Structure 1
Amino acid sequence: MKQSFYIKLGIIFFLILCLMLPQSFMLGLVSERVSWRQQAYQSIEQSWPGSQTVAGPVLSIPYYFTYNAKEKIIGTDKKETEIIKEMTVRDVLYIIPKQLNINSKLESSLRYRGIYGVPVYTNTVQMSGEFSTQPLLDLIAKNKDYKIRWEKPQISVLVCDQRGIATPPILTWSGEKLTFQPGGNLPGTVAGMHVAVPDLSQQHESKIPFSFDMELHGMRSINFALLSNNTDVRLAANWPHPSFTGDLLPEQRNITDQGFTAEWRASSFSYDVSNAMERCHKGECSSLMERTVGFELIQPVDVYQQSERSIKYAELFIILTFVALILFELLKKVRVHPIQYTLVGMALLVFYLLLISLSEHIQFLLAYGVAAFCSTALLTFYFGAILCSRKLGLILGAGLSILYVSLYVILQAEESALLMGSLLLFIVLAGLMLATRHFDWYELTGQGDMSAEVQK
């Protein structure tokens, strides 16, 4: 009896190790399905604009300034002669708005590739504010000894994916209507739009109001760069599950089942505008789109992430079930064959396969309930048969049901999942230890005589 028990215990331990192979297979299956979903996203991105970032407007004024420079020339007689040479240099003055107001209203929907749904949106963006000509006057005052020739100024707005601009926006510039042209027309950038504006006054500071509306298509996320001395951003969307992104969280937000609203306020102090403009002056205007605020349209339940997390508890379910079978086998003097242990382990693993496949087509909660019911019902019936007791089968089935309910609660508590999982393991272990604290294991395993001799 002694040798047969330990041999069987070794076989059961070996079975647990072997059952980890299907568990690894299912983890690989989850990764494969995630990659297929990513391919679906990429497929939709080929025919629909991707994540969008809007930066601007930025006023750029190219100019040439001419100055006299002294230059020393050494002649054939090795005498040094100083001459005055006229030099002309081209540069660009970049001006950001003194005040920028952004109002965005987003309407979202789902586009499907096979079974995978990707959130896409149509965003109506209203931008308004005013520019000040003071930076232009400061530049003239700084270079008053130089001759400056100004070129045509322009307004540029950068967009991450230019395909998303549905119709050519109209800029209202100091009461005048101007139509944007494709292309950001800033060094280091491609996507966006630009429009030439009338020459600015060089006599005194003036404030130029502007506004334009833009209909922008995109998917998954929308962000706005805070390129202004003072910026107010107000976003509204019918998507009830936003994930706010960027350098600043919204000052105010209201999230309901029908959607959400959010508001940001920022100044040039909270956002390092001068550094971004300096890099743009060096030909790296793409840096204007690096620091933003916005949100991502996340799926409320990532079925693959939750399935992967649930699979990681498979060893716990297998070990606890096998321990319960071993205890009932010893207490009730019944014999459970290793093949029956194997079938029980496979039935426990089939739960995860059902969960993955069902959650792709129905809600995760419903998929979890169906998979748990099927697995529990099958094992309850099987436990009653192999233990020759319907009561014992119901007891084991009830315990398994409690474990599945506990696992679902842990899966929903993302931030405290580790804590709850640790507590569950502690409670199960404590319950097992308390329930078996009076057991005579030598007697149960057929080593009672040897135990008595040791006590003598």
Structure 2
Amino acid sequence: MQKNLSIKLAIIGFVTLLLLIPLGMIADKISERSQFLTRAKQDVSQSWTGQQTVMTAMVVFPYEVNRETTLVDKVSQKKTLHISKLAKRRFLIPDNIKINAQITNDIRHKGIYKIPVYTTRLDISGQINTDSWQAMLKEIKNEAHGGRLGRPYITTTVSDPRGINSIPTLMWQDKKIPFQPGSKLLENNKGLHAYLPEMPPISDKPAADISTGSLSEPIKFTFQLELRGMEAISFIPVGQAAKVQASSTWPHPQFIGEFLPASRNISQDGYRANWKITSFASNISDKITQCENRVCQPLFTSDFGIKHIEAVDIYLQSERSVKYSMLFIGLSFISFFIFEVIMKLPIHPIQYTLVGFAIAIFYLLLISLSEHIAFLLAYLVASLACTGLLLSYLRYVLAGFKQAFAFAALLLLLYTALYIIISAEDLALVMGALLTFVCLAIVMFTTRNIDWYQVGEQLNSKHNAALAAKEEP
């Protein structure tokens, strides 16, 4: 009695699974187009610049250490004292460092793709305690054992120096010093450096007096850096205390890296963010010590900053919509089956398949149109086109315009709900779960009075009647 009903449901289930093939192909196409966008960004970065990471700023003290080695002749056993030179360096970080980044955004085109880029003006200032300077020189002098002290220089690194728009000038106390290319760091030579004026003389005060501080004015420095980049900018402010302020007209920032802003203000007109970081939080002293010993990775990877993103880009929206495709097709097939049961309309599996393909083609239309027009307009055109196609087709399948219009209206309502879900940045999952729950509740409420055993008997009677008709001469 229930055999024909089970066969019918099995066929509908098979058709549903069969539609996973075109849906999977469409999902692969969306992923492929997304990869094209990534390649377009890479092409733009080759001629513009890529993401930028700026480390500012520290003083490098190069020096040589005399190393004495006693050599013994194997034959005469004569001892010879050999003195070799060992190049070393010490880093002195500012007591305070401030970075003010004013970011101007722009768009570059690569084929049909729009790539966001930026130009930023970095105002960098800091100060070094004179006692810290004197203590550093004393330590180097004690270690050098008569070795030569090199000329100190201030250095900063930039991940992509091609983005430096103009030659910056260092203002060291009251002296202007032009920067030179290269950071002069073996671990990362991308950046710029400036040799400092003659070092202050080493104080005769004992180290204990130096540690208590002095009344001398700190060493102050400032410089400006105009930098081009793409998508993201990060900072590594080496200092005992660092303050970073960034502002832009981009409305969708994503804060990345080791530290989040202490305060931020985000609106459709842009954002402003402020960071306050101490050496206790950044552990900068240990990282500097490691870098002096040629292990600089912990220092160069301790960055934080901003990434300029699209809140929900067209490929992510399309990908989210495809994830709900089986829900659409399932609800459509359930509606068909309910019409078939209530109105006693025989709907062939091929008709189920054609309706499923019509719903699946919506996602292909959506991704192809959204690459050329606004996503909302592309979504509207694709949904109206597919709904209109089903309306004109189902008026014959459902034996009436009224039933076809009701189905088309339901489909448009689902498309509206889907757009709200895929446009949500943070609530997409909960909204999708609620939509699924509501749809299930509607189906259960609509079919609550259906006697499925009677439906099976009716299908069995129709099947027997069709067989009897064939056997008649």
TM-score w.r.t. the length of structure 2 is 0.88
Cα displacement string for residues 236-289 of structure 1 (whole angstroms, at most 9, x for unaligned residues)? 112111111121111121122221111111111111212321232122446533
Give the residue type in structure 2 aligned to 1:157: T
The 3 A distance-change label for structure 1 pair 416 and 241 is closer
Amino acid at match of 1:197: L
Contact 2:312 2:425 in 1 (8 A): no
Corresponding residue for 2:58? 58
Question: Quick one: percent identity of the two aligned structures?
Answer: 38
Residue deviations 1:97-148, cap 9 Å, x none? 1111111111111101111111111111111111234344324544548335
Q: Indicate the residue corresponding to 2:430 in structure 1.
A: 419
Gaps of 5+ in 1: 451-456
Residue 411 (structure 1) shift: 1.5
Counterpart in the other structure of 2:381? 370
Select 1:276's aligned residue among 287, 290, 294. 287
Structure with the larger RCO, 1 or 2 (CA within 8 Å, 6+ apart): 2
Q: Secondary structure at 1:260's aligned position in 2?
A: strand
Task: Report the CA distance shift for 1:105/1:448 in structure 2 as closer, same or farther (over 3 A).
Answer: closer
Report the CA distance between 1:449 and its aligned residue: 9.8
Who is 2:208 aligned against? none
Q: 1:30 — aligned with what?
A: 30
**Which residue of the other structure, out of 106, 110, 117, is the alignment partner of 2:107?**
110
Residues in 2 aligned to 1:5 and 1:212: alpha-carbon distance in whole angstroms: 80
- Separation in 1, partners of 2:36, 2:148: 57
Counterpart amino acid of 2:34? V
Structure 2: which amino acid aligns with 1:18? L
Query: Residue 95 of structure 1 corresponds to which residue in structure 2?
Result: 92
Of 203, 214, 217, 2:228 maps to 217
Question: For the residues of structure 2 that align with 1:65 and 1:2, how far apart are their CA atoms?
Answer: 94
Matched-pair contact (CA < 8 Å) for 2:63–2:150: yes
Pick closer, same or farther for the CA change 1:76–1:336 going to 2, 3 Å. Answer: closer
Q: 1:165-206: CA deviations, max 9, x gaps?
A: 111111111111111111111121121011111122133476
Q: Identify the match of residue 405 of structure 1 among 392, 413, 416.
A: 416
Deviation at 1:360, TM superposition (A): 1.2
CA distance in 1, matches of 2:200, 2:284: 25
Q: What secondary structure is seen at the aligned counterpart in 1 of 2:280?
A: coil
Quote the Cα distance in structure 1 between the aligned partners of 2:319 and 2:404: 29
Cα shift readout 1:23-43 (whole Å, capped 9, x = no counterpart): 000010011101111111111
Instruction: Say if 1:157 and 1:338 are closer, same or farther in 2 by CA, change over 3 A.
Output: same
Candidates 322, 339, 343, aligned match of 1:311: 322
Q: Is the 2:101–2:247 Cα contact (8 Å) retained in structure 1?
A: yes
Alignment match, 1:454: none
Residue matched to 1:356: 367
Instruction: Give the 3-state SS of the residue equivalent to 1:349 in structure 2.
Output: helix
3-state SS of the aligned residue for 1:445? helix
- Measured in 2, the distance between the counterparts of 1:123 and 1:386 equals 61
Residues 97, 242 of structure 2: 8 Å contact kept: yes
Task: Work out whether 1:250 is the aligned partner of 2:249.
Answer: no
Q: What one-letter code is carried by the residue in structure 2 that aligns with 1:99?
A: N
Is the 8 Å Cα contact of residues 330 and 445 (structure 1) preserved in structure 2? no
Q: Which residue does the alignment assign to 2:273?
A: 262
1:119 corresponds to 2:116: yes
| Comparing 84-93 and 356-365, the one that deviates more | 84-93
Return the TM-score normalized by structure 1: 0.91
Secondary structure of 1:288's counterpart equals helix
2:302 is the alignment partner of 1:291 = yes
Q: What number of residue pairs does the alignment pair up? A: 447
Q: Which residue of 2 aligns with 1:429?
A: 440
Structure 2 runs not aligned, ≥5 long: 204-215, 462-473
C-alpha distance in structure 2 between counterparts of 1:448 and 1:42, whole Å: 60
